[in-house]
Homo-oligomer: A and B are copies of this chain.
Amino acid sequence: MTHPFDPGYGNEPFRTLCQEYPGVDVYPAARFRIEWGPIFHRGRLDGSARVLVIGQDPAQHETVVRRILVGEAGRRQQGFLAKLGITRSYVLINTFLYSVYGSVSAAARKKPDLIAYRHRWLDALLVGQQIEAVVTLGSLAAEAWQLWKATPQGQATTVAVAAITHPTQPESASQGDKTKLAAAIKAMLKNWNAGLQQLAPAIQYPDQATPLVLYGDTFQDGDRVPIPEEDLPAGLPAWMHEQDGWARRVGTDDQKKRANITITVPKGVLP
């Protein structure tokens, strides 16, 4: 049995980008969980990506795996890409390198050095590359895209773009209320269907040519897709990409929770 894995950041320009990431002077510790380190990307860095996704910020599963969008949001996003026939030719980066703590202030997110570093990634992924479509998840990612699009490199780049609702916005917005959750998921999937219809004509080189099947009012079987093993670093166990909910922030107060990540191997994995 072979285990494909993501070779990571050995090649330029990503090697230098991953050596020169901004720290606490750019990402204030009051607003970002800077103590867990930056988490950079998921997907292809070898120039084969056709779709670029901009997410928001990493959470606890991402912190363990050191790749972004590997939890529930990632699984939903993976399903969105699959509907476009994109099963491996994608690359994902986030608006923020570090996990947001509480909420992001306008001052924090407009820091020139924060934006400049993100633009170096966007330049590397878009300029002279073969990206055909860009997907932004949520309003902060949409803003990040607009800021890059206004640069000379951005103005010179023609790609299809869909700014869609963040995949776990329904959970954030409904705060445990099941009726609200169902309504928010329905609204999100309607929004996603519009995004799919915008992007589908732009995808000239899908990994698997697929007739476009839109979402219904709820997630159906197959709408959530596991994170491929080849997106994770070498040697990570299968449950880290196949399952979700195995990493939690545990603690009796906010500070203890902030200092903690508890990993629990899912039931059925241990002998």
Chain A residues in the interface with B (C-beta under 8 A): 1-5, 7-11, 15, 18-21, 23, 29-30, 35-40, 64, 66, 233-237, 239-240, 250, 255, 258-265, 269-271
Contact = CB atoms under 8 A, between A and B. Distances in A.
A238 to B, nearest CB: 8
A35 B66 contact: no
Across the A-B interface, give the 6 residue pairs with the lowest CB-CB distance, nearest first.
A7-B10, A29-B271, A37-B237, A18-B234, A10-B10, A259-B265
Contacts of A262: 250, 260-263
Contact of A260 (B1, B20, B263, B269): B263
A234 B9 contact: yes
Contacts of A29: 270-271
Counting every copy of the chain, the complex holds 2
A102 B174 CA distance: 46
B234 A40 contact: yes
14 contacts: A1-B23, A3-B18, A7-B9, A8-B8, A9-B234, A18-B234, A30-B271, A35-B269, A37-B235, A66-B233, A66-B234, A66-B236, A259-B265, A259-B269
Nearest to A24: B271
A258 B271 CA distance: 10
A263 to B, nearest CB: 5
A58 to B, nearest CB: 10
A18 B35 CA distance: 29
